[in-house]
DNA sequence: GTCTATATTTTGATAGAC
DNA sequence: GTCTATCAAAATATAGAC
């Protein structure tokens, strides 16, 4: 099995259990590899696994969420395209966000830099579209932050209420929220 | 030391490390009690501790966040009063929300009922104020959900960006967001 | 109510065979 | 590259003294 096949399975474990809840045993079950095999791929254990997974999702962020924002369609259609992929990315809100999970507990100190970088990529990508749509810079930045705030908050509520309707509603109202007149 | 003095210290550990990251050793350090003493108070260990902490914060939610919503001031002032306490409750966004943390990993199955109940109390309390302010029922429910979404999302961003400005801005714009014309 | 001591299980990690 | 075997450390939990 190649490393490229292993990483998404590790990601799934981190997404389900968070950093401290993700044990080597759980990784072993998810990948069908014994503990020692995992250490062959990742000599520094869990911390290295999380680093690789973070790089993997940062690339997914760029390809699946940011790329659609740079098409030549009208701004509102680009945001809708991103949101369709957001919906798939988080499985209608049923999948936790790793950037949020890796900010908790001892993971926070370890991965703060990478998490911050990924979130800023996302915010900057959204703000760029809003600028193109004629929104002023400060407002564009604020609204882009609000979009990520709403996605992350909706994920929390989806889990807490055990119900994806809020997540879907938030995504639906987001394009017009972002592009409303100032 | 009484149980009432112990509970807030346990809460702080859960808030910092999440459910799976909170170990009996960390509880022992935080309370200055040896492991066995903690089992004297909570024979069922960590699960019972989390249950008691959840009841404790549900009460704090009612007293500190919901009570201000039932004053006889104008709706906008009541929401502002709640938000002042939200700001203190989460220490300007620097303290994680236990309702979010206890929805992760194995904690989710254990505490889903209590978490859902607490979140619905909060949403219902906010929606009631919006109804009094003349907002129609469906919109009131949606906006109340949006408020909790924004608070939770802002907490995630505060941690991820290592910066409380977004949290403060979200709280500041929330009263007018909630009461804007339909 | 708090402690020491101890038992048990789980976790993280490594050595070395194939 | 994957495994078995093994270890040390940490975690959960209990018994019983004071």
Chain A residues touching residue B104 (CB < 8 angstroms): 17-18, 21, 96, 101, 104, 159
Cβ under 8 Å to A: B residues 111-130: 112, 115-116, 119-120
CA distance B22 to B99: 15
Q: Which nucleotide is nearest to A2 (CA to C1')?
A: D1
CB atoms within 10 A of CB B15: 20
DSSP designation for B91: T
CATH architecture group of domain A53-179: Orthogonal Bundle (1.10)
Q: Is the pLDDT of residue B1 over 90?
A: no
- What chain B residue is nearest to A166 in terms of C-alpha separation? B145
B105, A17: Cβ pair inside 8 Å? yes
Chain D: bases < 7 Å from a protein Cβ = 1-6, 10-16
Q: What's the N-to-C CA distance of chain B in angstroms?
A: 53
Give the mean pLDDT of A68-77. Answer: 98
Q: Is the pLDDT of residue A1 over 90?
A: no
* pTM, entire model: 0.98
CA distance B174 to B155: 14
A29 half-sphere exposure, CB direction, 13 A CA radius: 6
Residue A157's Cβ-count burial label (10 Å; 0-12, 13-18, 19+) is buried
Residue B146's Cβ-count burial label (10 Å; 0-12, 13-18, 19+) is buried
Q: Is the pLDDT of residue B63 over 90?
A: yes
Q: Is the pLDDT of residue A44 over 90?
A: yes
Two structure tokens written together for B105: 């990993």
> Cα dist. A163→A93, A155, A166, B112, B178 in Å?
9, 10, 7, 12, 22
pLDDT in tens, B159-172: 999 999 999 999 99
Q: Is the pLDDT of residue B122 over 90?
A: yes
Written as one string, the DSSP assignment of B80-113 is HHHHHHHHHHTTTTTS--HHHHTTSTHHHHHHHH
Helix (H) or strand (E) holding A48: helix A45-60
CA distance A93 to A147: 15
- What chain B residue is nearest to A23 in terms of C-alpha separation? B20
Assigned CATH for B50-179: 1.10.357.10
Evaluate if the CB of A70 falls below 7 Å from strand D.
Answer: no
Q: How confident is the model at residue A8 (pLDDT cuts 50, 70, 90)?
A: very high
Give the mean pLDDT of B134-159. Answer: 98
Of B18, B100, B170, the CB nearest to A156: B100
A176 touches B at CB < 8 Å: no
Delimit the domains of chain B by residue range. 50-179
Give the mean pLDDT of B33-56. Answer: 98
pLDDT in tens, A87-104: 999 999 999 999 999 999
* Average pLDDT, rounded, for chain A: 98
Distance (Å) from the alpha carbon of B73 to chain A's nearest alpha carbon: 29
Token pair 């259609």 is found at A77
B104, A97: Cβ pair inside 8 Å? no
b/e for B52-85, b at 16 or more Cβ within 10 A?
Answer: bbbebbbebbeebbbebbeeeeebeebbbbbbeb
Length of chain A: 182
Two structure tokens written together for B157: 């961003």
> Cα dist. B46→A14, A100, B24, B103, B120 in Å?
21, 23, 7, 15, 25
Top residue of B104, B116, B150, B165 to mutate, by most chain A CBs within 10 Å, is B104
Length of chain B: 182
Two structure tokens written together for B7: 């509970």
Q: How confident is the model at residue B50 (pLDDT cuts 50, 70, 90)?
A: very high
In this structure, the protein residues whose CB atom falls closer than 7 angstroms to any atom of nucleic acid strand C are A 22-26, 35-36, 39, 43, 45-46; B 1, 32-37, 40-41
Residue B110's Cβ-count burial label (10 Å; 0-12, 13-18, 19+) is middle
């Amino acid at each position: 099995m190649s490393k490229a096949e292993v990483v998404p399975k590790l990601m799934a474990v981190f997404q389900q259990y968070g950093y401290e809840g993700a044990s080597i045993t759980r990784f072993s079950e998810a990948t069908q590899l014994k503990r020692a095999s995992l250490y062959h791929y990742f000599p520094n254990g869990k911390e290295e696994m999380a680093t690789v997974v973070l790089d993997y999702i940062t690339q997914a962020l760029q390809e699946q969420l940011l790329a659609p924002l740079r098409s030549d369609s009208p701004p509102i259609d680009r945001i809708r395209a991103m949101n369709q992929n957001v919906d798939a990315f988080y499985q209608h809100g049923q999948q936790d966000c790793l950037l949020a999970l890796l900010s908790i507990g001892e993971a926070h100190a370890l991965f703060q830099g990478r998490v911050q970088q990924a979130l800023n990529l996302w915010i900057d990508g959204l703000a760029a579209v809003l600028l193109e749509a004629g929104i002023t810079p400060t407002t564009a930045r604020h609204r882009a932050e609000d979009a990520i705030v709403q996605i992350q908050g909706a994920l929390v509520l989806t889990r807490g209420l055990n119900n994806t309707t809020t997540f879907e509603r938030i995504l639906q109202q987001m394009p017009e929220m972002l592009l409303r007149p100032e």
